[in-house]
Structure 1
Amino acid sequence: MKLKQKKDFQRFAEKLATQAGEIIMRYFDTEITKRLKEGEEVVTIADEKINNMVIKEVERTYPTHSVLGEEASNDKQSDLVWVCDPIDGTIPFTQGVPVSTFSLALVEDGMPIVGVVYDPYTKRLYSGAKELGAHVNSKRLQVSDRKLNNKQTTIDVEWWPQAEFNLGLFAYNLAMETGAYVPVLGSTVNASCYVGYGTYEACLFAGSKGKCVDIAAIKILVEEAGGKVTDLFGNEQRYDQDIKGAIVSNGVIHDEIVRRLKPYLSK
């Protein structure tokens, strides 16, 4: 893909991200309409409006491209797919907790080539493209070099009782054995951006069915910042279909997390 074309895709994604941020802030901390969808996950009118906006804008600008969204999709049988999570962290969003983000990636033949995340509360726009680096606003993203035995090491673990992979016991034992700080931020995308920013050292994600939308943009942002992103087993995976969870790390501690996690995945 030509450099100019890649940059055009990146600018398009950034434009949609800021539009999505406006919708998020319009509905944040209000009596927003919400419902339960399959798997007892919460969805709001804001999720649906953003997802529909992305489909409409892609249809208008790139009519041959597909859209794979968490709430709605538009399959054009294309090798180029826009993978969108309209609001990652919907539950905190409905509770008035400002941690949710918008995420959008352009995926070609299963692998992300452009990734954008927008945090409308801090106005941090994370943007990256394959082999072009990744930035937050004007600052270059760079992962940390902290190891697992560092008491300042922070490893976010995003899991829930209905998830295919139960990471709860692993998170507890990891904290007890290493002294690492193991929070649950409530947004996999936001926590993973902190890995790219160098604040966190890793984020583990238990999602599988339909959850490529959470990790597609992160794959670009964190790896362009010097980190590593794989499934929970340490393998590469496609980002236009169901995934096997994710390990997002600074790269330094990735192999050790894979090794420590392996016994818990067979339970």
Structure 2
Amino acid sequence: MICDTKPNVIKIAKEIAISAALEAGRLAKGWFDKLDNFEEKGDYGDIVTEVDLLTDKLIVNKIQSIFPEHQIDTEESGHNNNESDWLWLVDPLDGTNNYAIGLPLFTCSITLLYQNEPVLGVVYEPVVDRLFVSTLNEGAYCNQKRLFVNKKNDLKKATIGWIQGHKVQQDQRAVHLRQYIDINCKRMMRLWAPTLQWCMLAKGDLDGIILYNSEGADLYSGILMVKEAGGIVIDFEGNTFTGMNSEPYLIACHPDHRDYFIDMVNKGMSSHHYNG
């Protein structure tokens, strides 16, 4: 390994991740609205495009050229089967469904974890040239401007992001929770690009996020972004979320809004009624 101390790894990794995200994002922007076809992936409506594969390869090659011993797990090519304390999670094109239908809401997300805790998150939104970077204990930034989560006086006027996993589909608890949120805030937002919503929360443009069983390469960069912007990320019971979880149910918001969102989730989850 080129550098064997944690601070040095993170410092060099930050440079690599930013470079890779910018290059991948610009490649994606160049191909935007020019694709003729795409392929379905999995059983739940997800898709993959040629650009997903091109950007995935680009990012992996950059990481491997500097950190050949690290674990890398990407949205498209999977895990490289290395064993290491360091794990890279890559979603080269978060928002592929948007991308494929010509909706300019997509990002490139790269996360580095040390012993399953995120220490670096880089998210690039190429259409508007926004580069989000968060480093453990060093804050979160958009184009080098420090980010802070928003504290809203009247949460009835809040805009809340909703994120759910592909497999959730029409799970009745999820359906009723969505409906409850939609009725009890100004706007519930679903973007099909989770990293973008996490960055919006960190930037102060969203007031909270409720995530229902959605885990993947696009999750942990956003969690670090929000935490480093002064937000909290907790589970539905109010416990601080740490590490990794294959089936997360999460709330993210300003610390002062913790009880409000827990109450919202509890009421939304208990509001459903099953027939038969």
TM-score, normalised relative to structure 2: 0.86
* 196-205 or 106-115, which deviates more: 196-205
CA distance in structure 1 between the partners assigned to 2:75 and 2:166 by the alignment: 20
1:53 has 2:58 as partner: yes
| Structure possessing the higher radius of gyration over alpha carbons | 2
The CA deviation string for residues 103-123 of structure 1, in whole angstroms up to 9 with x for no partner, is 111011111000000000110
Counting aligned pairs with the same residue, the percent is: 25
Partner of 2:180: 173
CA distance in structure 1 between the partners assigned to 2:73 and 2:101 by the alignment: 27
- In the alignment, which of 108, 117, 129 is matched to residue 111 of structure 1? 117
* Residues 115/18 of structure 1: CA separation in 2 closer, same or farther (3 Å cut): same
Partner of 1:199: 205
SS of the equivalent of 1:39 reads coil
CA distance in structure 1 between the partners assigned to 2:10 and 2:161 by the alignment: 31
CA positional deviation for 1:53:
1.8
CA distance in structure 1 between the partners assigned to 2:145 and 2:190 by the alignment: 26
CA positional deviation for 1:126:
0.1
CA positional deviation for 1:30:
1.4
Partner of 2:134: 128
1:242 has 2:249 as partner: no
Map 1:14-25 onto structure 2 (within 5 A): 14-25=18-29
Q: What letter is aligned with 1:30?
A: K
CA positional deviation for 1:7:
2.2
* Preserved CA contact (<8 Å) 2:180 2:268: no
Map 1:179-194 onto structure 2 (within 5 A): 179-194=185-200
1:7 has 2:14 as partner: no
* Residues 39/205 of structure 1: CA separation in 2 closer, same or farther (3 Å cut): farther
* Preserved CA contact (<8 Å) 1:101 1:187: yes
Partner of 2:160: 155
CA positional deviation for 1:175:
3.2
The CA deviation string for residues 33-70 of structure 1, in whole angstroms up to 9 with x for no partner, is 31111233111111111122222222111011011111
CA distance in structure 2 between the partners assigned to 1:66 and 1:161 by the alignment: 25
* Preserved CA contact (<8 Å) 1:147 1:253: no
* Preserved CA contact (<8 Å) 1:144 1:250: yes
- In the alignment, which of 76, 98, 104 is matched to residue 98 of structure 1? 104
SS of the equivalent of 2:152 reads coil
- In the alignment, which of 221, 230, 233 is matched to residue 229 of structure 1? 233
CA positional deviation for 1:98:
0.7
Which aligned runs of 4 or more in structure 1 are off by greater than 6 angstroms? Answer: none
CA distance in structure 1 between the partners assigned to 2:124 and 2:100 by the alignment: 18
* Preserved CA contact (<8 Å) 2:174 2:212: yes
Structure 1 residue runs without a partner (length 5+): none
* Preserved CA contact (<8 Å) 2:16 2:62: no
* Preserved CA contact (<8 Å) 2:198 2:223: no
* Preserved CA contact (<8 Å) 1:231 1:237: no
Q: What letter is aligned with 1:192?
A: W
Q: What letter is aligned with 1:131?
A: N
CA distance in structure 2 between the partners assigned to 1:59 and 1:187 by the alignment: 26
* Residues 37/262 of structure 1: CA separation in 2 closer, same or farther (3 Å cut): same
1:87 has 2:93 as partner: yes
CA distance in structure 2 between the partners assigned to 1:150 and 1:95 by the alignment: 33
SS of the equivalent of 1:256 reads helix
1:30 has 2:34 as partner: yes
* Residues 233/32 of structure 1: CA separation in 2 closer, same or farther (3 Å cut): farther
The CA deviation string for residues 194-228 of structure 1, in whole angstroms up to 9 with x for no partner, is 100011011223344xx231211112111111011
1:70 has 2:75 as partner: yes
* Preserved CA contact (<8 Å) 1:175 1:181: yes
